[in-house]
Amino acid sequence: MNPLLKRLQPYPFERLRQLHAGITPNPAFRPISLGIGEPKHATPELIKTALNASLSGLASYPATAGEPKLRQAMADWLQRRYSLALDPLTQILPVNGSREALFALAQTVIDPTRDGATVVCPNPFYQIYEGAALLAGTKIWFAPSDPARNFAVDWAAVPQAVWAKTQLLFVCSPGNPTGAVMGLDEWKLLFELSDQYGFVIASDECYSEIYFRDEPPLGSLQAAAQLGRQDFKNLIALTSLSKRSNVPGLRSGFVAGDAALIKPFLLYRTYHGSAMSPVVQSASIAAWNDEQHVLDNRALYRAKFAQVTPLLAAVMDVALPDAGFYLWAGIPERFHGDDAAFSCELLGFYNVVVLPGSYLARDAQGHNPGAGRIRMALVAETAECVEAAQRIVQFIQST
């Protein structure tokens, strides 16, 4: 067996299942889960129609590079969204959701035989980053998010000696779970570090279309272009239809950026067998070419967050995030930072599931930056999220 498999950590939801195993939720309330971040708004009809109309595609093997029409649709979207002109042939590649691409990219770019091979990762973070690094045979250095700066990652906390060994940096903007969006200054710093030490930046942007400020979140490729980096050197942006278009089951996204990375990534993916089904390609073209359903989806999240956030902000340390569909909330003092205990009591008394923040982060430099927080995914319909928030308010006020 591959010995590296033993280094993988249990997934947060597995830990949550175990945590809640002995608890009998109060039967007076119907169950509501804010645990899993799976989009629940309706899949747009135009995507289902395109999928149905392309079933003949099942009769042929797809190319790993995808159909030119698909890559053109992705390039057109990058143009509309970020005013960027990428070459669909050399700078864009379809992927079967950003999750597999995050993992596969690490396997492509990392050389574990180099002394001290390291991946730098935000903390808290999306657990695939860690698994990708571990199976690629590297060490991981966790950079903490800073609550005092709207949860921006404290890149200055990473020692120069660590950057010197870093081969890959994962960033997540908008962040899961914090919702924080990286600004141009932060990108400038990371590009300078990448130039100095030669590491690749994998920028996970799968929440980019769900935002609450007027300005849409800055994309990594957009930041690079604004800083005169037209070749996107050492930068790969990963995006996805899962959240943008409410199709987590479609498994469709794309990567874009440095052509010198896209080329070996295509080679890796050809051997791995990561071509996108022709049926999924057709549905994806329809999805990338339409923006109205994205506007409608964003409007639903905005209305929902506008109702839920003030209810919870009255009793918890929480605010409207920049973007994403999570609330990242500090729990009341009486729990002494024990987010798992908060989650258990809330389930027991009020039948609401929330994810302990410490499960989304690692102890690093003597501290777990998720401790004392919970993540609430506001993916269900507004009425259900409001009811959950009201129960949480009751729970906090009654204790």
Ligand X SMILES: Cc1ncc(COP(=O)(O)O)c(C=O)c1O
* Burial bucket for residue 61 (CB in 10 Å: 0-12, 13-18, 19+): exposed
| Secondary structure (3-state) at 164 | helix
- The nearest distance, CB 209 to ligand X, in angstroms, is 12
Q: At 113, give phi and psi (nearest 5°).
A: -80, -10
Residue 123 touching ligand X (CB under 6 A):
no
- The nearest distance, CB 204 to ligand X, in angstroms, is 5
Residue 242 touching ligand X (CB under 6 A):
yes
Residue 97 touching ligand X (CB under 6 A):
yes
**The one among 54, 123, 240, 282 contacting ligand X by CB under 6 A:** 240
Q: Which residue stretch of 179-187, 240-248, 358-366, 381-389 sits at the interface with ligand X (rule: CB under 6 A)?
A: 240-248
Residue 43 touching ligand X (CB under 6 A):
no
CB 288 within 8 A of CB 73: yes
**The one among 12, 25, 35, 37 contacting ligand X by CB under 6 A:** 37
d(CA 75, CA 69): 10
By C-beta, is 128 or 396 nearer to ligand X?
128
Q: Which residue stretch of 92-100, 103-111, 265-273, 304-312 sits at the interface with ligand X (rule: CB under 6 A)?
A: 92-100
Site residues for ligand X, 154-193, by CB under 6 A, read 172, 176
By C-beta, is 25 or 356 nearer to ligand X?
356
- CA quadruple 61, 62, 63, 67: dihedral positive or negative? positive
Site residues for ligand X, 192-221, by CB under 6 A, read 204, 206
* Burial bucket for residue 83 (CB in 10 Å: 0-12, 13-18, 19+): exposed
By C-beta, is 125 or 141 nearer to ligand X?
125
- CA quadruple 226, 229, 230, 233: dihedral positive or negative? negative
Q: Which residue stretch of 20-28, 95-103, 208-216, 365-373 sits at the interface with ligand X (rule: CB under 6 A)?
A: 95-103
Q: For residue 135, what are the contacts with CB-CB under 8 A and spacing of at least 6?
A: 2, 4, 5, 7, 8, 103, 106, 107
Neighbours of 31 (CB within 10 A): 11
Site residues for ligand X per CB under 6 A: 37, 97-99, 126, 172, 176, 204, 206, 240, 242, 248, 253
